[in-house]
Amino acid sequence: MIEEKFDAIVVGAGMAGNAAALTMAKRGMKVLQFERGEYPGSKNVQGAILYADMMEKLVPEFREEAPLERHLVEQRFWMMDDRSHVGMHYRSEDFNEERPNRYTIIRAQFDKWFSSKVREAGATVLCETTVTELARDERERIVGVRTDRRDGEIHADVVVLAEGVNGLLGTRAGLRARPTPDNVALAVKEMHFLPRETIEARFNLKGDEGVVIEAAGTISRGMTGMGFIYANKECISLGIGCLVADFQRTGQTPYVLLDQFKRHPSVAPLIAGSEVKEYSAHLIPEGGYKSIPQLYGEGWVVVGDAAQLNNAIHREGSNLAMTSGRIAAEAIGLLKSRGEPMSATNLSIYKKMLDDSFVIKDLKKYKDLPPLMHTQSQNFFLTYPQLISKAMQNFVRVDGTPKAEKEKATLKSFVKARSWTGLFGDACRFARAWR
Protein backbone atom coordinates (compact mmCIF):
# COMPACT_ATOMS: atom_id res chain seq x y z
CA MET A 1 0.00 0.00 0.00
CA ILE A 2 1.36 3.37 -0.98
CA GLU A 3 0.09 5.61 1.85
CA GLU A 4 1.38 8.94 0.66
CA LYS A 5 -0.72 11.16 -1.53
CA PHE A 6 0.68 12.57 -4.75
CA ASP A 7 0.08 15.87 -6.47
CA ALA A 8 -0.44 14.00 -9.72
CA ILE A 9 -0.52 10.47 -11.09
CA VAL A 10 0.43 10.00 -14.73
CA VAL A 11 -0.74 6.83 -16.47
CA GLY A 12 1.61 5.89 -19.29
CA ALA A 13 5.20 6.71 -20.22
CA GLY A 14 4.93 7.59 -23.88
CA MET A 15 5.51 11.03 -25.34
CA ALA A 16 2.45 12.62 -23.71
CA GLY A 17 2.92 10.99 -20.31
CA ASN A 18 6.62 11.76 -20.14
CA ALA A 19 6.04 15.37 -21.19
CA ALA A 20 3.39 15.76 -18.48
CA ALA A 21 5.39 14.01 -15.75
CA LEU A 22 8.56 15.93 -16.59
CA THR A 23 6.83 19.32 -16.66
CA MET A 24 5.11 18.76 -13.30
CA ALA A 25 8.21 17.28 -11.63
CA LYS A 26 10.29 20.24 -12.80
CA ARG A 27 7.79 22.50 -11.05
CA GLY A 28 8.50 20.64 -7.85
CA MET A 29 5.26 18.69 -7.81
CA LYS A 30 5.11 15.20 -6.34
CA VAL A 31 4.50 13.00 -9.37
CA LEU A 32 3.91 9.24 -9.63
CA GLN A 33 4.01 7.75 -13.11
CA PHE A 34 2.92 4.23 -14.09
CA GLU A 35 4.12 2.24 -17.08
CA ARG A 36 2.92 -1.28 -17.82
CA GLY A 37 5.99 -2.20 -19.88
CA GLU A 38 9.21 -3.72 -18.63
CA TYR A 39 10.80 -0.31 -19.16
CA PRO A 40 9.42 2.96 -20.58
CA GLY A 41 9.26 2.44 -24.33
CA SER A 42 8.87 -1.32 -24.38
CA LYS A 43 5.19 -1.04 -25.34
CA ASN A 44 5.48 2.03 -27.53
CA VAL A 45 5.39 1.91 -31.30
CA GLN A 46 5.86 4.77 -33.75
CA GLY A 47 7.42 5.30 -37.20
CA ALA A 48 9.15 7.35 -35.81
CA ILE A 49 9.83 11.04 -36.35
CA LEU A 50 10.75 13.39 -33.52
CA TYR A 51 9.89 17.07 -33.87
CA ALA A 52 12.67 19.14 -32.34
CA ASP A 53 10.73 22.31 -31.61
CA MET A 54 8.32 20.55 -29.24
CA MET A 55 11.11 18.47 -27.70
CA GLU A 56 13.23 21.56 -27.03
CA LYS A 57 10.42 23.01 -24.95
CA LEU A 58 10.76 19.99 -22.66
CA VAL A 59 14.47 19.15 -22.72
CA PRO A 60 16.36 22.02 -24.39
CA GLU A 61 19.64 20.06 -24.50
CA PHE A 62 18.11 16.86 -25.94
CA ARG A 63 20.34 16.91 -29.02
CA GLU A 64 23.44 16.27 -26.92
CA GLU A 65 21.91 13.44 -24.90
CA ALA A 66 19.04 11.67 -26.58
CA PRO A 67 19.44 8.60 -28.79
CA LEU A 68 18.63 10.20 -32.15
CA GLU A 69 18.94 8.44 -35.49
CA ARG A 70 19.14 10.81 -38.47
CA HIS A 71 18.15 14.44 -39.01
CA LEU A 72 15.83 14.72 -41.98
CA VAL A 73 17.06 16.56 -45.04
CA GLU A 74 14.59 15.07 -47.47
CA GLN A 75 10.92 14.21 -47.69
CA ARG A 76 9.56 12.06 -50.48
CA PHE A 77 5.87 11.62 -51.30
CA TRP A 78 5.11 8.72 -53.57
CA MET A 79 1.85 8.06 -55.33
CA MET A 80 2.02 4.42 -56.27
CA ASP A 81 0.35 2.02 -58.62
CA ASP A 82 1.41 -1.60 -58.80
CA ARG A 83 4.46 -1.04 -61.01
CA SER A 84 5.36 2.61 -60.62
CA HIS A 85 5.44 5.61 -58.38
CA VAL A 86 5.01 9.30 -59.15
CA GLY A 87 7.13 11.16 -56.68
CA MET A 88 7.48 14.59 -55.23
CA HIS A 89 10.73 15.00 -53.37
CA TYR A 90 11.80 17.91 -51.30
CA ARG A 91 15.42 18.05 -50.23
CA SER A 92 17.16 21.10 -48.90
CA GLU A 93 20.61 21.92 -47.59
CA ASP A 94 18.75 24.23 -45.18
CA PHE A 95 17.92 21.14 -43.13
CA ASN A 96 21.63 20.55 -42.51
CA GLU A 97 21.44 23.18 -39.80
CA GLU A 98 22.96 23.48 -36.37
CA ARG A 99 19.69 22.63 -34.69
CA PRO A 100 17.84 20.36 -37.11
CA ASN A 101 14.05 20.40 -37.18
CA ARG A 102 13.13 16.71 -37.44
CA TYR A 103 14.88 13.47 -36.59
CA THR A 104 14.14 9.81 -37.05
CA ILE A 105 14.17 7.97 -33.73
CA ILE A 106 13.64 4.47 -32.38
CA ARG A 107 10.92 4.81 -29.79
CA ALA A 108 11.89 2.06 -27.35
CA GLN A 109 15.35 3.61 -27.06
CA PHE A 110 14.25 7.22 -27.10
CA ASP A 111 11.51 6.75 -24.52
CA LYS A 112 13.91 5.05 -22.14
CA TRP A 113 16.12 8.14 -22.30
CA PHE A 114 13.13 10.50 -22.02
CA SER A 115 12.02 8.64 -18.91
CA SER A 116 15.48 9.06 -17.36
CA LYS A 117 14.95 12.83 -17.60
CA VAL A 118 11.57 12.43 -15.87
CA ARG A 119 13.27 10.56 -13.01
CA GLU A 120 16.08 13.11 -12.81
CA ALA A 121 13.45 15.81 -12.42
CA GLY A 122 12.20 14.00 -9.34
CA ALA A 123 9.19 11.98 -10.46
CA THR A 124 8.67 8.41 -9.24
CA VAL A 125 8.34 6.05 -12.20
CA LEU A 126 6.88 2.59 -11.57
CA CYS A 127 7.30 0.17 -14.47
CA GLU A 128 5.78 -3.29 -14.96
CA THR A 129 2.62 -1.95 -13.36
CA THR A 130 -0.70 -1.93 -15.17
CA VAL A 131 -3.24 0.55 -13.87
CA THR A 132 -6.50 -1.38 -13.81
CA GLU A 133 -9.04 1.12 -12.58
CA LEU A 134 -9.61 4.75 -11.67
CA ALA A 135 -10.59 5.36 -8.07
CA ARG A 136 -13.48 7.69 -7.28
CA ASP A 137 -14.69 9.34 -4.12
CA GLU A 138 -18.30 9.46 -2.92
CA ARG A 139 -18.93 12.47 -5.17
CA GLU A 140 -17.73 10.52 -8.23
CA ARG A 141 -14.57 12.60 -8.55
CA ILE A 142 -11.43 10.81 -9.76
CA VAL A 143 -9.12 10.63 -6.75
CA GLY A 144 -6.51 8.10 -7.81
CA VAL A 145 -5.92 4.66 -9.35
CA ARG A 146 -5.81 0.96 -8.61
CA THR A 147 -3.06 -1.19 -10.10
CA ASP A 148 -2.38 -4.87 -10.61
CA ARG A 149 0.23 -4.79 -7.87
CA ARG A 150 -2.50 -5.20 -5.23
CA ASP A 151 -1.53 -1.99 -3.54
CA GLY A 152 -5.10 -0.85 -3.02
CA GLU A 153 -5.88 2.69 -4.05
CA ILE A 154 -3.16 5.23 -4.66
CA HIS A 155 -4.36 8.79 -4.34
CA ALA A 156 -3.50 12.04 -6.11
CA ASP A 157 -5.11 15.43 -6.65
CA VAL A 158 -5.28 14.77 -10.37
CA VAL A 159 -4.82 11.85 -12.75
CA VAL A 160 -3.26 12.49 -16.17
CA LEU A 161 -4.48 9.85 -18.60
CA ALA A 162 -1.64 9.36 -21.08
CA GLU A 163 -2.62 5.78 -21.75
CA GLY A 164 -2.37 5.84 -25.51
CA VAL A 165 -4.80 5.26 -28.34
CA ASN A 166 -5.92 1.95 -26.89
CA GLY A 167 -6.21 3.19 -23.30
CA LEU A 168 -8.72 1.23 -21.28
CA LEU A 169 -9.06 3.31 -18.12
CA GLY A 170 -10.82 6.33 -19.52
CA THR A 171 -13.21 4.29 -21.65
CA ARG A 172 -14.01 1.85 -18.84
CA ALA A 173 -14.71 4.76 -16.53
CA GLY A 174 -17.03 6.31 -19.12
CA LEU A 175 -14.87 9.42 -19.54
CA ARG A 176 -14.64 8.92 -23.30
CA ALA A 177 -15.83 6.47 -25.93
CA ARG A 178 -13.80 3.54 -27.20
CA PRO A 179 -12.21 4.33 -30.59
CA THR A 180 -14.42 3.21 -33.46
CA PRO A 181 -13.15 1.26 -36.49
CA ASP A 182 -13.52 4.34 -38.70
CA ASN A 183 -11.47 6.67 -36.53
CA VAL A 184 -8.38 4.54 -35.99
CA ALA A 185 -5.92 3.02 -38.44
CA LEU A 186 -3.95 -0.15 -37.88
CA ALA A 187 -0.31 0.19 -38.90
CA VAL A 188 2.12 -2.73 -39.11
CA LYS A 189 5.84 -2.16 -39.25
CA GLU A 190 9.12 -4.02 -39.62
CA MET A 191 12.64 -2.97 -38.67
CA HIS A 192 15.07 -3.81 -41.49
CA PHE A 193 18.74 -3.78 -40.56
CA LEU A 194 21.47 -2.98 -43.08
CA PRO A 195 25.01 -1.62 -42.83
CA ARG A 196 25.10 2.14 -42.39
CA GLU A 197 26.96 2.72 -45.65
CA THR A 198 24.39 0.69 -47.56
CA ILE A 199 21.54 2.81 -46.23
CA GLU A 200 23.42 6.02 -47.03
CA ALA A 201 24.19 4.86 -50.58
CA ARG A 202 20.65 3.68 -51.30
CA PHE A 203 19.01 6.83 -49.96
CA ASN A 204 21.62 9.29 -51.21
CA LEU A 205 22.67 10.42 -47.74
CA LYS A 206 25.92 11.45 -46.11
CA GLY A 207 26.77 11.30 -42.42
CA ASP A 208 23.70 11.52 -40.23
CA GLU A 209 21.41 12.89 -42.93
CA GLY A 210 18.06 11.17 -43.14
CA VAL A 211 15.08 10.79 -45.42
CA VAL A 212 11.47 9.74 -45.06
CA ILE A 213 9.20 8.37 -47.74
CA GLU A 214 5.41 8.56 -47.37
CA ALA A 215 3.56 6.50 -49.94
CA ALA A 216 -0.07 6.21 -50.95
CA GLY A 217 -1.91 4.54 -53.76
CA THR A 218 -2.75 1.04 -54.83
CA ILE A 219 -0.53 -0.34 -52.04
CA SER A 220 -3.57 0.08 -49.75
CA ARG A 221 -5.84 -1.85 -52.17
CA GLY A 222 -8.50 0.85 -52.19
CA MET A 223 -8.50 1.27 -48.43
CA THR A 224 -7.72 4.58 -46.74
CA GLY A 225 -4.08 4.13 -45.86
CA MET A 226 -0.42 4.97 -46.30
CA GLY A 227 2.94 3.30 -46.42
CA PHE A 228 6.09 4.74 -44.90
CA ILE A 229 9.83 4.17 -45.11
CA TYR A 230 12.10 5.95 -42.63
CA ALA A 231 15.88 5.79 -42.78
CA ASN A 232 17.52 5.30 -39.40
CA LYS A 233 21.28 4.97 -38.84
CA GLU A 234 21.55 1.22 -39.26
CA CYS A 235 18.03 0.20 -40.01
CA ILE A 236 14.98 1.14 -42.02
CA SER A 237 11.52 1.41 -40.46
CA LEU A 238 9.04 0.23 -43.05
CA GLY A 239 5.32 -0.08 -42.58
CA ILE A 240 1.83 0.43 -43.83
CA GLY A 241 -1.38 1.45 -42.12
CA CYS A 242 -5.04 1.48 -43.12
CA LEU A 243 -8.31 2.29 -41.39
CA VAL A 244 -9.52 -0.55 -39.18
CA ALA A 245 -13.01 -0.17 -40.71
CA ASP A 246 -11.48 -0.81 -44.14
CA PHE A 247 -9.66 -3.93 -42.96
CA GLN A 248 -12.93 -5.10 -41.44
CA ARG A 249 -14.89 -4.38 -44.61
CA THR A 250 -12.45 -5.78 -47.15
CA GLY A 251 -10.97 -8.76 -45.31
CA GLN A 252 -7.47 -7.67 -46.32
CA THR A 253 -4.75 -8.95 -44.00
CA PRO A 254 -2.26 -6.42 -42.65
CA TYR A 255 0.82 -8.62 -43.04
CA VAL A 256 0.00 -9.50 -46.66
CA LEU A 257 -0.39 -5.79 -47.37
CA LEU A 258 2.99 -5.16 -45.73
CA ASP A 259 4.65 -7.85 -47.81
CA GLN A 260 3.15 -6.53 -51.03
CA PHE A 261 4.48 -3.08 -50.16
CA LYS A 262 7.94 -4.56 -49.52
CA ARG A 263 7.90 -6.36 -52.87
CA HIS A 264 6.87 -3.25 -54.85
CA PRO A 265 9.55 -2.61 -57.50
CA SER A 266 10.18 0.87 -56.08
CA VAL A 267 10.62 -0.43 -52.53
CA ALA A 268 12.31 -3.83 -52.84
CA PRO A 269 15.77 -2.50 -53.85
CA LEU A 270 15.84 -0.21 -50.79
CA ILE A 271 15.59 -3.11 -48.36
CA ALA A 272 17.27 -5.87 -50.38
CA GLY A 273 19.44 -8.11 -48.22
CA SER A 274 18.22 -6.63 -44.93
CA GLU A 275 17.77 -8.51 -41.69
CA VAL A 276 14.39 -8.01 -40.05
CA LYS A 277 14.63 -7.75 -36.28
CA GLU A 278 11.12 -6.79 -35.20
CA TYR A 279 7.51 -6.84 -36.33
CA SER A 280 5.11 -4.51 -34.57
CA ALA A 281 1.62 -3.10 -34.89
CA HIS A 282 -0.16 -0.11 -33.44
CA LEU A 283 -3.35 1.88 -33.79
CA ILE A 284 -3.19 5.48 -35.01
CA PRO A 285 -5.93 8.01 -34.22
CA GLU A 286 -7.30 9.18 -37.57
CA GLY A 287 -10.61 10.79 -36.68
CA GLY A 288 -9.16 14.28 -36.33
CA TYR A 289 -10.89 17.23 -34.71
CA LYS A 290 -14.36 15.70 -34.67
CA SER A 291 -13.23 12.67 -32.70
CA ILE A 292 -11.56 14.58 -29.84
CA PRO A 293 -13.29 13.53 -26.61
CA GLN A 294 -13.97 15.52 -23.44
CA LEU A 295 -10.45 16.48 -22.37
CA TYR A 296 -10.90 17.10 -18.64
CA GLY A 297 -13.22 16.42 -15.73
CA GLU A 298 -13.34 16.18 -11.95
CA GLY A 299 -9.78 15.25 -11.05
CA TRP A 300 -8.60 14.13 -14.48
CA VAL A 301 -7.27 15.22 -17.86
CA VAL A 302 -6.56 13.16 -21.00
CA VAL A 303 -3.59 13.83 -23.31
CA GLY A 304 -1.92 12.53 -26.47
CA ASP A 305 -3.20 9.60 -28.53
CA ALA A 306 -5.73 8.75 -25.81
CA ALA A 307 -7.38 12.06 -26.70
CA GLN A 308 -7.16 11.29 -30.45
CA LEU A 309 -4.71 14.19 -30.87
CA ASN A 310 -3.13 13.18 -34.16
CA ASN A 311 -2.80 15.11 -37.40
CA ALA A 312 -3.38 12.38 -39.98
CA ILE A 313 -2.75 14.69 -42.93
CA HIS A 314 0.72 15.80 -41.84
CA ARG A 315 1.52 12.49 -40.15
CA GLU A 316 2.16 14.33 -36.90
CA GLY A 317 1.28 12.71 -33.61
CA SER A 318 4.16 12.60 -31.17
CA ASN A 319 4.49 16.39 -31.20
CA LEU A 320 0.81 16.81 -30.48
CA ALA A 321 1.19 14.23 -27.73
CA MET A 322 4.12 15.91 -26.02
CA THR A 323 2.59 19.36 -26.41
CA SER A 324 -0.75 18.30 -24.95
CA GLY A 325 1.09 16.59 -22.07
CA ARG A 326 3.14 19.69 -21.40
CA ILE A 327 0.16 22.05 -21.60
CA ALA A 328 -1.96 19.85 -19.33
CA ALA A 329 0.92 19.81 -16.83
CA GLU A 330 1.29 23.59 -17.01
CA ALA A 331 -2.44 24.01 -16.41
CA ILE A 332 -2.26 21.67 -13.42
CA GLY A 333 0.84 23.47 -12.15
CA LEU A 334 -0.95 26.79 -12.39
CA LEU A 335 -3.90 25.54 -10.34
CA LYS A 336 -1.55 23.95 -7.82
CA SER A 337 0.44 27.16 -7.38
CA ARG A 338 -2.80 29.05 -6.76
CA GLY A 339 -3.91 26.40 -4.30
CA GLU A 340 -7.05 25.75 -6.32
CA PRO A 341 -8.74 22.33 -6.44
CA MET A 342 -8.48 20.09 -9.54
CA SER A 343 -12.16 20.45 -10.38
CA ALA A 344 -13.56 20.20 -13.87
CA THR A 345 -14.25 23.93 -13.90
CA ASN A 346 -10.67 24.74 -12.98
CA LEU A 347 -9.11 22.10 -15.26
CA SER A 348 -11.02 23.56 -18.22
CA ILE A 349 -8.06 25.92 -18.42
CA TYR A 350 -6.15 23.01 -20.02
CA LYS A 351 -8.60 22.94 -22.92
CA LYS A 352 -8.43 26.72 -23.28
CA MET A 353 -4.65 26.59 -23.45
CA LEU A 354 -4.72 23.68 -25.90
CA ASP A 355 -7.29 25.46 -28.10
CA ASP A 356 -4.85 28.37 -28.38
CA SER A 357 -1.97 26.09 -29.44
CA PHE A 358 -1.14 24.61 -32.83
CA VAL A 359 -2.51 21.27 -31.62
CA ILE A 360 -6.20 22.15 -31.84
CA LYS A 361 -5.75 24.84 -34.49
CA ASP A 362 -4.20 22.35 -36.92
CA LEU A 363 -6.75 19.65 -36.20
CA LYS A 364 -9.55 22.16 -36.70
CA LYS A 365 -8.12 23.24 -40.04
CA TYR A 366 -8.36 19.69 -41.39
CA LYS A 367 -11.57 18.72 -39.62
CA ASP A 368 -13.33 17.68 -42.85
CA LEU A 369 -10.45 15.81 -44.48
CA PRO A 370 -10.61 12.49 -42.58
CA PRO A 371 -14.29 11.88 -43.50
CA LEU A 372 -13.58 12.86 -47.12
CA MET A 373 -10.64 10.45 -47.38
CA HIS A 374 -12.67 7.70 -45.74
CA THR A 375 -15.72 7.96 -47.97
CA GLN A 376 -13.74 8.58 -51.18
CA SER A 377 -11.02 6.02 -50.52
CA GLN A 378 -11.50 4.13 -53.80
CA ASN A 379 -10.98 7.34 -55.78
CA PHE A 380 -8.13 8.79 -53.78
CA PHE A 381 -6.18 5.59 -53.21
CA LEU A 382 -6.90 3.51 -56.34
CA THR A 383 -8.36 5.47 -59.25
CA TYR A 384 -6.29 8.66 -59.13
CA PRO A 385 -2.91 7.01 -58.51
CA GLN A 386 -3.49 4.72 -61.49
CA LEU A 387 -4.62 7.61 -63.70
CA ILE A 388 -1.69 9.79 -62.70
CA SER A 389 0.79 6.98 -63.29
CA LYS A 390 -0.64 6.45 -66.79
CA ALA A 391 -0.51 10.19 -67.47
CA MET A 392 3.14 10.33 -66.43
CA GLN A 393 4.04 7.34 -68.54
CA ASN A 394 2.24 8.89 -71.46
CA PHE A 395 4.21 12.09 -70.87
CA VAL A 396 7.68 10.54 -70.72
CA ARG A 397 7.42 7.59 -73.10
CA VAL A 398 8.65 8.52 -76.59
CA ASP A 399 6.88 6.45 -79.22
CA GLY A 400 6.19 8.70 -82.19
CA THR A 401 2.65 9.62 -81.08
CA PRO A 402 2.08 13.37 -81.52
CA LYS A 403 2.01 15.17 -78.16
CA ALA A 404 -1.48 16.60 -78.77
CA GLU A 405 -2.87 13.08 -79.18
CA LYS A 406 -1.08 11.96 -76.00
CA GLU A 407 -2.60 14.79 -74.00
CA LYS A 408 -6.02 14.02 -75.39
CA ALA A 409 -5.65 10.37 -74.37
CA THR A 410 -4.63 11.36 -70.86
CA LEU A 411 -7.56 13.71 -70.44
CA LYS A 412 -9.91 11.10 -71.84
CA SER A 413 -8.73 8.52 -69.32
CA PHE A 414 -9.46 10.91 -66.43
CA VAL A 415 -12.92 11.76 -67.72
CA LYS A 416 -13.70 8.13 -68.43
CA ALA A 417 -12.73 7.09 -64.90
CA ARG A 418 -14.34 9.91 -62.91
CA SER A 419 -16.52 11.95 -65.41
CA TRP A 420 -16.32 15.73 -65.61
CA THR A 421 -18.67 16.23 -62.68
CA GLY A 422 -16.76 13.64 -60.66
CA LEU A 423 -13.41 15.33 -61.32
CA PHE A 424 -14.81 18.76 -60.57
CA GLY A 425 -16.57 17.51 -57.45
CA ASP A 426 -13.43 15.77 -56.15
CA ALA A 427 -11.36 18.91 -56.70
CA CYS A 428 -13.92 21.11 -54.93
CA ARG A 429 -14.41 18.70 -52.04
CA PHE A 430 -10.67 18.36 -51.57
CA ALA A 431 -10.04 22.11 -51.77
CA ARG A 432 -12.82 22.85 -49.30
CA ALA A 433 -11.61 20.24 -46.80
CA TRP A 434 -7.99 21.38 -47.11
CA ARG A 435 -8.79 25.07 -46.62
Partner 1 sequence: MNVEPRVRVEDKLYYNRYLVDVGHPHVKVRAHTTPSPQLLALLKACPARCYELNDDGQVEITVDGCIECGTCRVIAEPTGDIQWSHPRGGFGVLFKFG
In sequence order, what DSSP letters do the residues of 301-355 get, joined into one string? EE-GGGGT--BTTTTB-HHHHHHHHHHHHHHHHHHHHTT----HHHHHHHHHHHH
Beta carbon nearer to partner 1, 37 or 333:
37
CB of 244 to partner 1, least distance (A): 5
Distance CA 335, CA 84 (A): 56
The minimum distance between CB 241 and partner 1, in angstroms, equals 10
How far apart, in Å, are the Cα atoms of 420 and each of 206, 324, 381, 425?
Answer: 47, 44, 19, 8
Among 33, 44, 291, 324, binds partner 1 (CB under 8 A): 44
- 279 contributes a contact to partner 1 by CB under 8 A: yes
Q: How far does CA 406 lie from the centroid of its chain? A: 41
Q: Give the nearest distance from C-beta 283 to partner 1 in angstroms.
A: 5
Our finding on whether 38 is near partner 1 (CB under 8 A) is yes
Out of 18, 23, 46, 115, the only residue in the binding site for partner 1 (CB under 8 A) is: 46
Q: Which amino acid is at 247?
A: F
The binder of partner 1 chosen from 235, 295, 335, 342 (CB under 8 A): 235
Q: Which stretch binds partner 1 (CB under 8 A): 146-154, 216-224, 364-372, 416-424?
A: 146-154
Residue type (1 letter), 101 = N
Residues within window 154-193 making contact with partner 1, judged by CB under 8 A: 165-166, 168, 178-181, 184, 186, 188, 190-191
Cα angle: 372, vertex 353, 350; to 5 degrees: 95
Residues 6+ apart with CB under 8 A from 115: 13, 18, 35, 39, 40, 41, 125
Q: Is there binding between residue 152 and partner 1 (CB under 8 A)? A: no
Binding residue for partner 1, selected from 52, 86, 205, 281, defined by CB under 8 A: 281
On whether the CB atoms of residues 296 and 342 are closer than 8 A, the answer is: no
Residue from 106, 145, 238, 267 binding partner 1 (CB under 8 A): 106
Please, which residue, 196 or 365, has the CB nearer to partner 1? 196
DSSP 382-433: IIHHHHHHHHHHHHH--SS--HHHHHHHHHHHHHHHHHHHHHHHHHHHHHHH
Nearest distance in Å: CB 44, partner 1? 5
Residues that bind partner 1 (CB under 8 A): 36-38, 41-46, 48, 106-109, 111, 127-130, 132, 147-149, 165-166, 168, 178-181, 184, 186, 188, 190-191, 235, 244, 247-248, 251-256, 259-260, 276-283
